[in-house]
Amino acid sequence: MICCSVDNRLCEVLRKQRTCDGSTCIAAVVLNNSIFVANAGDSRAVLGMRDGSTRAMSWDQTCDRQDEAQRVQAAGGQVRRTGGVARVNGELVPSRAFGDPEYKEGTRPHPVVATPEIAVLNMSASPPQFAILACDGLWDVCTNEQSVALVQRYLERGWDANKIARGLVEFALREGSTDNVTAMVLLFPGGSSSIKKVPSRASAAPMPRR
């Protein structure tokens, strides 16, 4: 898979630099009236549907999930709680990520992997109004439903995608988020696969995610 080859190359570079950086990834692609979401880590994608409901398109990959905890342990890792949070070897929160080469030494399977989970939605059958893609700094202080309600409120004010994304970041900071806060908003017209506005990105100053 492409993601594995990219991760292998990234880990090679990081080992040469003697650093252990890593990153989660959330990606969305619209193709033939369907939206495909790939997630590796604890970033998240949420859809606001045209009927006003909320639709999750990713599920955080952490050791708080039983299936992820079991996968980590089966690969020789340990799951320990530090600061009230289940972590890989008591350190790393996301159980899937790009980089983090110290968790990918030796033969496979490794406790941390870059293999994404993929969700697909037929937008003709279930038309979304908008999509929110954001890293954990937003979700630490905001539920899926709250994020959709916020975007709906901003749309009523006539805000465009860029301003809405910035509004989500500012909301997270006001709520006391201390992790990375990056958000992207996609607006869809009438539930079709065409994107109404170019997706925009707003972010706060990056902070260590561990």
Is residue 126 over pLDDT 50?
yes
- Banded pLDDT at 4 (limits 50, 70, 90): confident
What's the token pair of residue 42? Answer: 């604890």
Predicted confidence at residue 5, as pLDDT, reads 87
Is residue 148 over pLDDT 80?
yes
One-letter-per-residue 3-state SS of 100-161: CHHHCCCCCCCCCECCCEEEEEECCCCCEEEEEEECHHHHCCCCHHHHHHHHHHHHHCCCCH
Predicted confidence at residue 109, as pLDDT, reads 95
Is residue 178 over pLDDT 50?
yes
Tell me the mean pLDDT in the region 134-161: 97
How many helices (H) and strands (E) the chain has is answered by 5, 12
Is residue 206 over pLDDT 60?
no
Is residue 191 over pLDDT 50?
no
- Banded pLDDT at 189 (limits 50, 70, 90): confident
Q: What is the CATH number of domain 2-203?
A: 3.60.40.10
Question: For the segment 39-54, what is each residue's pLDDT rounded down to a tens digit?
Answer: 999 999 999 999 999 9
Question: For the segment 6-27, what is each residue's pLDDT rounded down to a tens digit?
Answer: 999 999 999 999 999 999 999 9
Would you say the pTM of this structure is higher than 0.85? yes
